Amino acid sequence: MDVKIVKDKVAGGQLAFDIIKEDITNGAKVLGLATGSTPITLYQAMIASDLDFSNMTSINLDEYVGMPFDNPQSYHQFMKDNLFNKKPFAHSYVPDGMAEDIEQAAADYEKIIAANPIDVQILGIGRNGHIGFNEPGSDLEGRTHKVQLTESTIEANKRFFEREEDVPRYAISMGIGSIMQGKKIILLAYGEDKADAIKATVEGPVTSHVPASVLQNHDDAIIIIDEAAASKLSK
Ligand SMILES: N[C@@H]1[C@@H](O)[C@H](O)[C@@H](COP(=O)(O)O)O[C@@H]1O
């Protein structure tokens, strides 16, 4: 793991952008994208750049189950608002949380990933160490599947909804095994809220209790964090 500590989230987004830009120059064609507040500064740097993504493919990590695509809280809408409306890709895939058969949608998504191997996978991290929506205890080799969100994630997400009962309880997410297939992985984390998860990810044992810790086993994983997120690291 290559840990890079930056001044703030703007510098983090810029650094991630610079890495991606170089990879695109070297032929990268498929980006794995994430939602949440963390990647927004990266998306802003992409939008502000003169890079053209219209011959590239994007594949998103996850989506809520049962949330219409045009709901402002859906990840389909989030990606449009924060990136795709300004920088369209040739193909943009987001898991189909509205499918009648979620297991089939998950299997179909794995076929999309297999046909479009991810060159650079962007990740945020949950306060409990989750990546995508792979909560603690997830299979480290899992593939795209339906997941039940933990109370901690529901609690963290409820700020986006008017009522707690509106917060979705299920999602469809790429599995940890699907994520680990990315040729390069860039995990971003900012703020003190993420410091415990980052310590466990970087310095703890590789364990399904901290899904992001599996990145220790990846050949090309870069962790970009600000000082607050780095504050509990021992070195
Ligand atoms: N499924 C997403 C994750 O992909 C994201 O990493 C996490 C952290 O969100 P934030 O970046 O807003 O802290 O939130 C959700 O759970």
Closest CA to 155 of 178, 127, 122: 127
Report the separation in Å between the CA atom of 167 and the middle of ligand 1, taken as the mean of its atom positions: 14
For 11, the 3-state DSSP assignment is: helix
Give me the residue label for tokens 């680990």. Answer: 180
Locate the ligand 1 atom nearest the alpha carbon of residue 37 and give its number.
Answer: 12
Cβ 153 under 6 angstroms from ligand 1:
yes
Contact (CB, 8 A) for 177 and 214: no
ipTM over 0.90: yes
Over the Cα atoms of the chain, what is R_g? 16
Tell me, yes or no, if 139 is annotated catalytic.
no
Structure tokens at 125: 């991290």
Report the separation in Å between the CA atom of 212 and the middle of ligand 1, taken as the mean of its atom positions: 12
The secondary structure of residue 150, as a DSSP letter, is P
Report the separation in Å between the CA atom of 194 and the middle of ligand 1, taken as the mean of its atom positions: 11
Tell me, yes or no, if 62 is annotated catalytic.
yes
Q: pLDDT digit string (tens) for 200-215?
A: 999 999 999 999 999 9
Tens digit of each residue's pLDDT, the chain (235 residues)? 999 999 999 999 999 999 999 999 999 999 999 999 999 999 999 999 999 999 999 999 999 999 999 999 999 999 999 999 999 999 999 999 999 999 999 999 999 999 999 999 999 999 999 999 999 999 999 999 999 998 988 988 888 888 888 899 999 999 999 999 999 999 999 999 999 999 999 999 999 999 999 999 999 999 999 999 999 999 6
- Annotated catalytic residue, options 63, 82, 130, 134: 130
What topology is assigned to 2-226 in CATH? Rossmann fold (3.40.50)
Closest CA to 21 of 94, 120, 93: 120
Instruction: Tell me the domain boundaries of the chain.
Output: 2-226
